[in-house]
Chains A and B, each alone.
Chain A
Amino acid sequence: MASVAIDEVYKSFGAVEILHGVSVNIEDGEFVTLVGPSGCGKSTLLRMIAGLEKISRGQIAIGERVVNNVAPKERDVAMVFQNYALYPHMTVAENMAFSLMLKGVSKPESDAGVRRAAEILGLVPLLARYPRQLSGGQRQRVAMGRAIVRDPAVFLFDEPLSNLDAKLRVQMRAEIKELHQRLKTTTVYVTHDQIEAMTMADKIVVMHDGIVEQIGPPLELYDRPNNLFVASFIGSPAMNLLRGEIATGGSPSFRGAGGISVPLASALSIPNGEPVVLGIRPEHLRLSDDQGIPVIVAVVEPTGSEVQLIGRTAGGEEIVANFRERHSFTPGETIRLTAEPSLIHLFHGETGQRFQTRTDQ
């Protein structure tokens, strides 16, 4: 086991720079997800930790050792690939034993290692099969088994669940998390799925266009996103964002398009007339009889456990609200939604940076 220190790392492919100075500290035994939309550089960063891509500038250290010029096989990392990359001509057992065989581990010892890993993952009945004879979830498990057998310092996962169907994905998600709790090996997990990131990680690194937008525990990112990107990326359905400005006459409030007015927590240090973006999570919106934002109901989606409502404000902006209670709405009717001032997020209208509110301190 080992920590991983990524320090001001840059990566260019020819003239195109795709990582612009990324720094992340990963503690020993931590489960960290790198999350972001496609093209944000998260997979490249993972491949640089593995040694499959050269580091253009900056340094990466695994444990105490700087690995910039260390060959992949010397780095003591194991990687699970998106397409699993199982050797099709080897059985499950041979796939798992391959790294041990290359290391010159004796046959009985290697068999024991494979057996141990297979037991952890429930692969024992499949050991004699070939990858083609396995289902997607089983292949996924073999790929993890191949990583476990080596007992590496760091596990790297590159979007391992994206080839699985939704149900299996949820199941494997839990399995990977359980595996980490059991083995406590430092894990770096790349995904574009923020739900995966939220549910599995001790720490999330949100990346966008080659930079780190925010690093923190899942709930901190959810409760206090640093900027508009993180606010809109983390959470499903996404945070409602309304453009407008600050009005400080009397008690401070937010004035948005179509005459919307939302009262804000007092003691705001934002000047009058400042352009801002107001953010409210869908589950923080409440129904109200006489005050709040008027919303015209467009679509109602009952899922059983909750009701999701999609509506439009007078300014034409879309608003999504989630209710645990079973309200019955009719499309076309106008309802009013409010939110606790303490649950409201404010971002700068131009830079997208978060305004610190009292609850942040």
Chain B
Amino acid sequence: MLPAAALLLVFLTYPLGLGVWLGFTDARIGRPGIFIGIENYEYLWSDAVFWLSVFNTLLYTISASILKFALGLWLALILNQNLPFKSFFRAIVLLPWVVPTVLSAIAFWWIYDSQFSILSWALQQMGLIDHRINFLGDPENARASVIAANVWRGIPFVAITLLAGLQTIPQSLYEAATLDGASRWQLFRYVTLPLLTPIIAITMTFSVLFTFTDFQLIYVLTRGGPVNATHLMATLSFQRGISGGQLGEGAAIAVAMIPFLLAAILFSYFGLQRRKWQQGGGD
């Protein structure tokens, strides 16, 4: 118990506590701050850029999570069928997850480049557009682009975990339902989906937490630009706290993420509770 407690204390409680404390000081790099109460939070409350980053983070998290769930579930259902080269495809699907985020972000940076974008080039060759798309220079485009990159990176996690969940559903249930007269859609609606909900709850909780705290993709692709249109709370906190040197303010932004994360954890707490049908004896 003691070593575990010590590890938790040193690596979790202390940094978290320090972060929370810094949020109440005016510390800067090279200067230990003094306690200033909630002055940082008062400042952020009236800071439009901060609220923009909150909006961006929610937009980014919600839209990316919905897309990841829908596409990941679809992919899992496909991979759960008896395809030729099944294990090969399953391995391929994991690739975006395996590649270091910074590397794939740099690849996306090229894909979205205003001059050399392969997407613009391909669309131009096909005659679908007549001038290059300004992926990262236009606020709307930039938001959509970073969300797309995040979805690409996040799908494997969702797909593979849901696939694992699908494989725990006994084949005989599908056979019984088929004999009971269920169509393909009804098999999905009445057998697959309800039996998958416990796994969906876990997977999506993690997916939402990862997405909400995302930093690398944005930092490499846009650094929050253009005009803060893609700044997330994590990137804004880094920019203010480290690049800008305002440790106290940066820490306050980071602390402001906690209520959102707590809400997600609470949601998962209730979502992960054993459902009534899961209770009782074994098989």
Contact = CB atoms under 8 A, between A and B. Distances in A.
Given A85-B176, A86-B176, A132-B283, 20 more contacts: A50-B175, A52-B179, A72-B178, A73-B180, A79-B176, A81-B175, A81-B176, A85-B173, A88-B195, A88-B278, A89-B277, A99-B180, A102-B182, A103-B181, A130-B280, A132-B277, A132-B278, A133-B280, A146-B176, A150-B180
Nearest to B180: A99
Interface in A287-337: none
Question: Lowest 9 A-B CB distances belong to which pairs?
Answer: A132-B280, A99-B180, A133-B280, A85-B172, A85-B176, A73-B181, A130-B277, A89-B194, A102-B181
B179 A78 contact: yes
Contacts of B170: 83, 85
B173 A87 contact: yes
Contacts of B195: 88-89
Nearest to B282: A132
Contacts of A83: 170, 172
28 contacts: A50-B179, A72-B178, A73-B178, A77-B179, A78-B179, A79-B175, A79-B176, A79-B179, A83-B170, A85-B170, A85-B172, A86-B176, A87-B176, A87-B177, A88-B277, A89-B195, A98-B180, A99-B180, A99-B181, A102-B182, A103-B181, A130-B277, A130-B280, A131-B277, A132-B279, A133-B280, A135-B281, A146-B180
A87 to B, nearest CB: 6
B279 to A, nearest CB: 7
Interface of A: 50-52, 72-73, 77-79, 81-83, 85-90, 98-99, 102-103, 130-133, 135, 146, 150
Interface string B265-283: 0000000000111111111
Contacts of A73: 178-182
Contacts of B167: none
Tell me the dominant secondary structure on chain B's binding face.
helix
Nearest to A78: B179
Nearest to B195: A89
Given A72-B179, A73-B179, A81 B279 contact: no
B175 A87 contact: no
Contact of A89 (B172, B179, B275): B275
B175 A98 contact: no
B115 interface: no
Contacts of A77: 179
Contacts, number: 72
Interface in B150-190: 170, 172-173, 175-182, 186, 190
B111 interface: no
Contacts of A98: 177, 180, 190
A103 B179 CA distance: 12
Nearest to A75: B179
A133 B172 contact: no
B77 interface: no
Interface string B245-283: 000000000000000000000000000000111111111
B166 to A, nearest CB: 15
Contacts of A85: 170, 172-173, 175-176
B44 interface: no
Contacts of B278: 88, 132
Contacts of B191: 87
Contact of A132 (B172, B173, B180, B281): B281
B280 A52 contact: no
B89 to A, nearest CB: 21
A77 B278 CA distance: 30
A103 B177 CA distance: 12
B30 to A, nearest CB: 59
A284 B85 CA distance: 59
A138 B160 CA distance: 36
Contact of A130 (B181, B194, B276): B276
A86 B277 CA distance: 12
Contacts of B186: 102
A50 B190 CA distance: 21
Contacts of A88: 195, 277-278
Contacts of B281: 132-133, 135
A90 B279 CA distance: 12
A140 to B, nearest CB: 13
Contacts of B179: 50-52, 72-73, 77-79
Contacts of A90: 277
Nearest to B174: A85
Nearest to A139: B283
A350 B238 CA distance: 87
Given A85-B170, A87-B191, A89-B195, A133 B279 contact: yes
A129 B275 CA distance: 13
Contacts of B180: 73, 98-99, 102, 146, 150
A353 B198 CA distance: 58
A51 B181 CA distance: 12
Interface in B185-235: 186, 190-191, 194-195
Nearest to A104: B181
Contacts of B173: 85, 87
A52 B275 CA distance: 31
Nearest to B178: A72
Nearest to B281: A132
Nearest to B182: A102
Contacts of B175: 50, 52, 79, 81, 85
Q: With a 10 A CB-CB cut-off, give which of B175, B191, B194, B282 has the most chain A CB atoms.
A: B175
